[in-house]
């Protein structure tokens, strides 16, 4: 796709995210997106609205030119307030950068800023005859040179309106407006995965500077200055982007859990985007109402910072959703089994919807291409339908050499060259489960207090009886939780198929379950209400429709040994 089209598509996506996230807020003012629009204020008996913007809004050391625009309009008619003179002061981290007087006859002031690194702020332009304030020439905007924008982050400003409607119409009382605008800060970090391979992770903050970046196992964490005591009415959104490279397959997932100051944020504040850049972009967008809801709890960790934690969710959430850059179609991609492994038949399901038509069902054609390490491994032209309840589908079996990230492209949708979307898939090797599996409990709002070691027999689950062995520990002390109550639950396609309550008298226990044909495929084990709390653990499993004789014999031997051991442990605990 041409870079220009890609750039506009990406900008469109960002604006969609911001607009959607801002809907609950009644106040249109806000900083964090390279600009701010103030609520209406009274000027000479009428309501006026002031807006200020910086373009481009992302800080780049190699981009030395930026434009500051300041507009004053009548709130109802949107008509321009002319002959505006204003005092403009800009600060960063409490330090004044400049304080100068400007004028524009048309009320649309543009300042061209050239960051030349010099210590002195210089201005070129004409001078207004009334107050000798800087204004545009006949051909050029006001030009400012010096060290103005040296970094990304939050820039505070104060604008005082001195005249309006006429160069000599001096206001009896200056109209003062205070706010902040942000240059998005682009940060690059190197992380090392479990195979000791290095990857570049990018974080773009549309609010303030990023600090304290860490990557630990399957979590990315960082912080950002944020005053939780401020008036949140002045904020529309806080937006962060975490860009994960295509090759970092062990950190590519269908769902990410995000915490702010140890508080799990709602799912719709986190959006996966595989289209806007190479790799995957995870957008975290908190609107004003979201911030208000977590404010008091967030202040318990810090009232001056926002701590982000992004980790892989235990849930597999499908379908993945993408919108074409021409805003013509929305594509939905899902697959079965939900965990893609080499050597297994994977069925892909595609659904396409039109965004701005009568949305009647129509026949449609499009290209599907999958590539691994830059080499095409699958290509087919699909003859399907749009706006239909019947999903288009195709099957593919990945080979061992495809393990890692696979890119799936859907292009030329309906014969439109700009109607295309990308998705990233992760192909895993055949599963070799190492037991016990240690699961960390969680609740709806806080970090969990328990660990659960889980083992099942046979290791490859199939038709017939299986045993699930559980041991409960306190996370901090690592000591067994005696008398831990629990509910053992099996889920299939999101619906509960089995539930049994139990108690682990000595911290360890087991549950048996007989799988039948209708219960094969992808399931989820969920152990909930641990020790009488709302904490739970869960893990996906796969039950195969065949049950080999050799595994059955081995299973019976292990069960016999395990049963004797469990009984011995329980008797020993009681005797003690």
| Whether the predicted pLDDT of 62 surpasses 90 | no
Which strands form 320-323's sheet, in the order they lie side by side? 320-323, 329-336, 345-354, 392-397
Rg value, the chain, Cα: 30
DSSP string, 397-433: E--GGG-EEEEEEEESGGG-TT--EEEEEEEBPPP--
The mean per-residue pLDDT over the stretch 333-339 comes to: 95
Whose CA is closest to 329, among 254, 391, 268, 415? 415
Count CB neighbours of 131 within 10 A.
16
Kindly report the average pLDDT of the chain as a whole number.
Answer: 87
Distance CA 551, CA 543 (A): 14
Q: For the domain with range 35-183, which CATH number is right: 2.40.128.690, 3.30.70.890, 3.50.50.60, 2.60.40.1940?
A: 2.60.40.1940
Distance CA 230, CA 240 (A): 20
**Lowest-confidence segment of 156-160, 444-448, 481-485 by average pLDDT:** 444-448
How high is the pLDDT of residue 39?
87
| Whether the predicted pLDDT of 306 surpasses 90 | yes
How high is the pLDDT of residue 502?
96
pLDDT digits (tens, 9 = 90+) for 338-348: 999 998 899 99
| Whether the predicted pLDDT of 397 surpasses 90 | yes
| Whether the predicted pLDDT of 575 surpasses 80 | no
**236 — pLDDT class (breaks 50, 70, 90):** confident
How high is the pLDDT of residue 5?
40
**320 — pLDDT class (breaks 50, 70, 90):** very high
Query: To the nearest whole percent, how much of the chain has pLDDT over 90?
Result: 69
The mean per-residue pLDDT over the stretch 266-276 comes to: 89
For residue 366, the 8-state DSSP code is: E
Check whether the bond before 74 is cis (ω within 30° of 0): no
How high is the pLDDT of residue 166?
92
How high is the pLDDT of residue 231?
86
How high is the pLDDT of residue 564?
44
The mean per-residue pLDDT over the stretch 369-382 comes to: 95
pLDDT digits (tens, 9 = 90+) for 456-468: 999 889 999 999 9
| Whether the predicted pLDDT of 566 surpasses 50 | no
DSSP string, 63-84: --EEEEEEEEEETTT-PBPPSE
| Whether the predicted pLDDT of 551 surpasses 50 | no
Q: For the domain with range 437-575, which CATH number is right: 3.60.15.10, 3.90.79.10, 3.30.750.24, 2.60.40.1930?
A: 2.60.40.1930
The mean per-residue pLDDT over the stretch 500-526 comes to: 94
How high is the pLDDT of residue 33?
56
| Whether the predicted pLDDT of 574 surpasses 80 | no
Tokens 């001078």, located at residue: 127
Distance CA 438, CA 450 (A): 10
Q: For the domain with range 320-427, which CATH number is right: 2.60.40.1930, 3.40.50.920, 3.10.560.10, 1.20.120.160?
A: 2.60.40.1930
Can you read off the two tokens belonging to residue 159?
Answer: 């604008």
Whose CA is closest to 340, among 219, 446, 423? 423
Contact 176, 162 (CB under 8 A): no
How high is the pLDDT of residue 59?
87
Torsion of CA 538, 542, 546, 552, to 10 degrees: -40
- Which secondary structure element, helix H or strand E, spans residue 362, and what is its range? strand 362-372
| Whether the predicted pLDDT of 99 surpasses 90 | yes
pLDDT digits (tens, 9 = 90+) for 19-33: 434 433 333 334 445
Contact 478, 471 (CB under 8 A): no
For residue 39, the 8-state DSSP code is: P
**434 — pLDDT class (breaks 50, 70, 90):** confident
How high is the pLDDT of residue 233?
81
How high is the pLDDT of residue 549?
42
**Which position has the higher pLDDT, 559 or 338?**
338
How high is the pLDDT of residue 17?
44
How high is the pLDDT of residue 546?
60
Distance CA 516, CA 120 (A): 79
Contact 314, 266 (CB under 8 A): no
How high is the pLDDT of residue 558?
44
| Whether the predicted pLDDT of 135 surpasses 50 | yes
| Whether the predicted pLDDT of 213 surpasses 80 | yes
pLDDT digits (tens, 9 = 90+) for 163-208: 999 999 999 889 999 988 888 888 999 999 988 999 999 999 988 8
Region(s) of the chain under CATH 2.60.40.1930: 320-427, 437-575
Region(s) of the chain under CATH 2.60.40.1940: 35-183
Distances from the Cα of 466 to the Cα of 143, 435, 471, 472, angstroms: 76, 15, 17, 20
The alpha helices in 191-300, defined as continuous H runs, are 288-298
How high is the pLDDT of residue 218?
84
- Which secondary structure element, helix H or strand E, spans residue 485, and what is its range? strand 484-492
| Whether the predicted pLDDT of 336 surpasses 70 | yes
């Amino acid at each position: 796709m041409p870079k220009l089209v890609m750039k506009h598509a990406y900008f469109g996506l960002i604006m969609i995210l911001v607009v959607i996230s801002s809907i609950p807020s009644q106040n249109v003012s806000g900083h964090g997106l390279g600009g701010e629009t103030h609520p209406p204020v009274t000027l000479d008996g009428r309501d006026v609205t002031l807006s200020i913007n910086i373009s481009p809004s992302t800080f780049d050391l190699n981009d030395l030119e930026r434009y500051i625009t300041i507009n004053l309009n009548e709130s109802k008619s949107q008509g321009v307030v002319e002959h505006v003179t204003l005092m403009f002061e800009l600060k960063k981290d409490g330090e004044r950068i400049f304080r100068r007087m400007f004028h524009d006859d048309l009320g649309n002031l543009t300042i061209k800023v050239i960051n030349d690194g010099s210590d002195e702020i210089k201005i070129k332009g004409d001078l207004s005859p009334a107050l000798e304030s800087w204004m545009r020439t006949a051909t050029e905007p006001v030009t400012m040179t010096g060290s103005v924008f040296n970094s990304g982050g939050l820039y505070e400003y104060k604008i005082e309106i001195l005249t309006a409607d006429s160069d000599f119409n001096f206001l009896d009382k200056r109209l003062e407006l205070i706010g902040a605008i942000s240059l998005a800060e682009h940060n690059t970090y190197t992380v090392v995965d479990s195979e000791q391979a290095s990857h570049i992770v990018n974080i773009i903050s549309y609010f303030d500077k990023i600090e304290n970046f860490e990557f630990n196992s399957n979590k990315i964490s960082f912080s950002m200055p944020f005053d939780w005591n401020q008036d949140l009415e002045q904020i529309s959104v806080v937006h962060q982007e975490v860009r994960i490279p295509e090759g970092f397959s062990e950190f590519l997932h269908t769902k990410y859990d995000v915490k702010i100051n140890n508080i799990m944020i709602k799912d719709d504040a986190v959006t996966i985007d595989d289209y806007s850049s190479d790799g995957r972009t995870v957008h975290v967008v908190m609107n004003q109402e979201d911030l208000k809801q977590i404010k008091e709890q967030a202040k318990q960790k810090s009232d001056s910072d926002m701590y982000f934690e992004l980790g892989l969710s235990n849930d597999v959430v499908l379908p993945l959703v993408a919108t074409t850059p021409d805003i013509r179609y929305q594509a939905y991609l899902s697959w079965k089994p939900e965990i893609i492994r080499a050597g297994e038949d994977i069925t892909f399901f595609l659904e396409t919807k039109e965004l701005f038509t009568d949305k009647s069902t129509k026949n449609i054609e499009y290209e599907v291409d999958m590539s691994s390490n830059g080499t095409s491994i699958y290509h087919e032209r699909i003859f399907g339908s749009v706006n239909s309840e019947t999903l288009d589908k195709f099957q593919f079996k990945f080979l061992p050499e495809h393990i890692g990230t696979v890119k799936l492209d859907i292009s030329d949708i309906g014969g439109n060259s700009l109607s295309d979307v990308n998705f990233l898939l992760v192909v895993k090797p055949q599963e070799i489960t190492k037991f016990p599996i240690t699961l960390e409990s969680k609740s709806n709002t806080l970090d969990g207090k328990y660990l659960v070691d889980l083992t099942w027999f046979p290791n490859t689950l199939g038709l017939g009886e299986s045993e699930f062995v559980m041991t409960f520990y306190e996370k901090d002390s690592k000591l067994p939780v005696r008398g831990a109550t629990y509910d053992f639950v099996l889920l299939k396609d999101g619906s509960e198929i089995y539930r049994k309550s139990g108690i682990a008298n000595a911290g360890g226990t087991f549950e048996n379950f007989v799988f039948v044909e209708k219960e094969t495929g992808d399931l989820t084990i969920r152990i909930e209400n641990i020790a009488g709390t709302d904490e739970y653990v869960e893990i996906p499993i796969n039950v195969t429709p065949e049950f080999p004789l050799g595994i059955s014999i081995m299973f019976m031997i292990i069960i016999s040994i395990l049963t004797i051991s469990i009984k011995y442990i329980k008797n020993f605990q009681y005797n003690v």
